[in-house]
Structure 1
Amino acid sequence: MSTIRTRAFAGAAAALSLSLLLAACGGGDDTDTADKATKGDVHLEFWSWTEGIQQQVAVWNKAHPETQVKFVNAAGDTVYQKLRAAVTSGNAPCLSKMDGMNLANFAADGLLTDITEVAQPYKSRYTVPAWNSVSPGGATYGIPTGSSPLFTAYRADLFEKYGIKAPTTWDELIAAGKAVQKKDKNVKIFNMAGEDPSTLVDLSWQAGAQWYKVADDHWEIGFTSPEALKAGDIVQQMVDNNLASNASYADPGVFKTWDLGKTILMTTSTWQLPIYDTNFPKSKGKWQLADAPVFDTARPQTSSNFDVTAVLKGCKYPDRAAEFAAWLSSSKESLTALTDPASKSGLFPAVKDVSPYVDKIIPTDMFNGKSDSAEVITTAASRVGDQWQYGPDYAAMYSEMQKQWGKVMKKELTVKDMLTHLQKWVLDDLKNKGVKAVAAS
């Protein structure tokens, strides 16, 4: 499940060649500035909407009088439009929270600063997938902030009742779903909302697919690759066999389908755990964590969203901006505070070693204690596939996919047909934008 994480995007890629995407999105002045170490006292503005961040900015400011950061709470549905307008008018902050998909979009539109050189000293602190999220096409435009590696939560009591075990592969999940249906046709193994195609994104990532891939001087587009179609087939089987409920994540009552045992498994992540602890009153203590199902047990991998701190075009002090962003998301001082549930940040680190921060994020009353929840989460963080890239029109593509996804859920369109449509749609869209792209061979 991808509860309450429907991805909303704004804007589309501008007509930039790949060379522009790789080398010059930040503009000449920004690149020149990035090559020089800033001297003297500076002030940076930072937009974010993560709870607990403001307190950490205050901690930084106290310890770093030479680099003072002004925090701006930018919460709201129009934040990305506001950021675009701010860059255009020359009033953009140096730094802003984003997700990996929007960073790729902003980079393609020339709205970010290339900080590849000044960010290099911090690269080794983060996982490869996390660094990929701030480096679309190879150039780096920000610093990773947090990750959301996927794992499984399931109703252990009902799994025992129906005689099934936590699935280790997606084929096993399909088989378990069918077994449950034979005993109670009203109980589903999974949920797929009509407005949220993130299940297909996650499965494609886990299968090793690359919808977008940089190759030499162009993008390769692979929505119809064997790996992508393998992921699509699992979704199709769930649709064809009526194995998934269709609770909308926009419905305040969405939690009931799991709390009341109508849906008995979800793929989930760390930031969602406190939400369940609050909203699953009837089933508290009946859940158990397990590794997410995989496609290849010899090479198990999962997927993750990433939050990032992007450096906007026009930032005069990219070296100081990168230094602050890296401290915020990798220093023990900051992470210890932000991963504390009391901060309400929901942050899970994107650093290589997450072990110091796992135990305290697990709401112990939520789970039955029959498995090592910390080990499950640590394993998930280590299994995120590093092949996934966000292309220059990913946001626009996702909006198009949302339109098609609803038809798939209603059995009006097959997943394969949707992927075939997206393959052509993206190739045409990038061509219209002047971005060189070919179908993956």
Structure 2
Amino acid sequence: MKIIPILLISFSFMAVFGQGDPKVSSTYCENTADIYFTKLTDLGNFNGVVLLKKGDDIVLKKAYNMQSDISSTLFVDENSQFDLRSIAKLFAKLSVIQLEAEDQLSKEDKLSRFLPDFPNANKISINHLINNTSGLPRSFEDSEKPYIELNPDEVIALASKSNLEFEPGEQELYSNVGFQLLYFIIGKVTDASFEAYIYQHFFKPLGMSNSGSNFYDGKDRKHQYAYGHFDKNDEIVCECTYPEDEMKMGNLFSTAEDLDKLLSSLDNTIYQDLIHEGIIAHAGGTRGKRAYVERNYNKDYTMIFLSNYDQIPFEQIIIDTRLILEEKEVVMPEAVNRKSIELSAKILKKYQGTYDLVDAGHILLDIKFENDSLYVYQKGKNNGVIVPETKTVFFSDPTKKESIEFVENEKGTFDMLIDFQGVQWRGANVTSENR
């Protein structure tokens, strides 16, 4: 079964820290981070650009390439422009704070102020959209036209067909639908477009001259674009055109250097509502593309990594890079060789069922016991066998850390934790609901 991998990292790297010497400290971070990302790249698990800062000092700014051929579509350098994906949502949150300070809107405003005919407009607030508590689903309904051909008004019309998954404010569910509404509202409030507002209030004043929109304002500034890449049949394939399921609104690109200008500009008083545990951070990704930005105010560091290849251990990179910037011991990436064990049919059969990956857009996976083994099915297609490493942890490829772990829930059945796209997702057991 093909699951996006996370590396198993199996030995540690230690260093002697300087006694309060910032130059030694900076050198440690640079050397350790460079070794870490070089190892990751050599293993075929990173391709992109990394920018790290301690205070105002850049300690690492470097491109890492799995292929040395500069003519390859995969090849990037420090000035490459990457898709930001959901980091556009950070720009939307920053915009709302600015517009609220100017009395142009309030986070407590209901959708009815801007979209009076939208279903449940009197229930859903701007704050609900920002915090993913609107009840709107992660993904859009099917459209008669490809998403990429929809104009903003058509996007709103499509969003209006979405049913609420829960009452606004009662739960949290990541919603791309909700943020498309927010992009539209920012444009409506400012009598322009979301992209034009971002240019006038962020890109232009901050000197982010290599940033823009893939489809609207700023597409003329795109000159060194890093197209996304993904694995297909054991080959790395370029997504060198925009797929039909792209949305134009909020589709931004930038460089590591430009994103550093943004993070450096964010006053922790003005934007305190976006700071959690001393950090402003946001992640983004889709097929072939990954992006992450973080500014830690308490520990005074900045982390940015952008990748045009999606088979990277996303969450592990964040954890490990924080350790490096905090001058702590970090475990370095290394090749994996996992071993399977034997389990009885009685144990294996307990894990049969249908699992709903709610936060991943309700992807449904069926686990079936066949030929004395467990198989994973999606939409009726057999995605392959998984073998046990422990009584509850299974894998498909012994050279990858991607896993499915079965955890007992309060009902006495099992939910699953699955590594997918470098992130761990929970799959709720909904077997009884499908009988």
User: What TM-score, normalized to structure 2?
Assistant: 0.26
Bigger Rg, structure 1 or 2: 2
The answer to which structure has the higher strand fraction is 2
User: What TM-score, normalized to structure 1?
Assistant: 0.26
The answer to which structure has the higher helix fraction is 1
